[in-house]
Chains A and B, each alone.
Chain A
Amino acid sequence: QITLKESGPTLVKPTQTLTLTCTFSGFSLSTSGVGVGWIRQPPGKALEWLALIYWDDDKRYSPSLKSRLTITKDTSKNQVVLTMTNMDPVDTATYYCAHDQGVHWGQGTLVTVSS
Chain B
Amino acid sequence: DIQMTQSPSSLSASVGDRVTITCQASQDISNYLNWYQQKPGKAPKLLIYDASNLETGVPSRFSGSGSGTDFTFTISSLQPEDIATYYCQQYDNLLWTFGQGTKVEIK
Contacts and interface: CB of A to CB of B under 8 A. Distances in A.
Interface of A: 35, 37, 39, 46-49, 52, 54, 58, 60, 62-64, 96, 98, 101-103, 105-108
B46 to A, nearest CB: 5
A63 B98 contact: no
19 contacts: A35-B94, A39-B98, A46-B87, A46-B98, A46-B100, A47-B98, A48-B98, A49-B95, A52-B94, A60-B94, A60-B95, A63-B1, A63-B95, A64-B1, A102-B36, A102-B46, A103-B46, A105-B44, A107-B43
The bracket for how many chain B residues form the interface is 10 to 19
A60 B97 CA distance: 12
Q: Which of A37, A49, A58 has the most CB of B within 10 A?
A: A49
Interface of B: 1, 34, 36, 38, 43-44, 46, 49, 55, 87, 89, 94-101
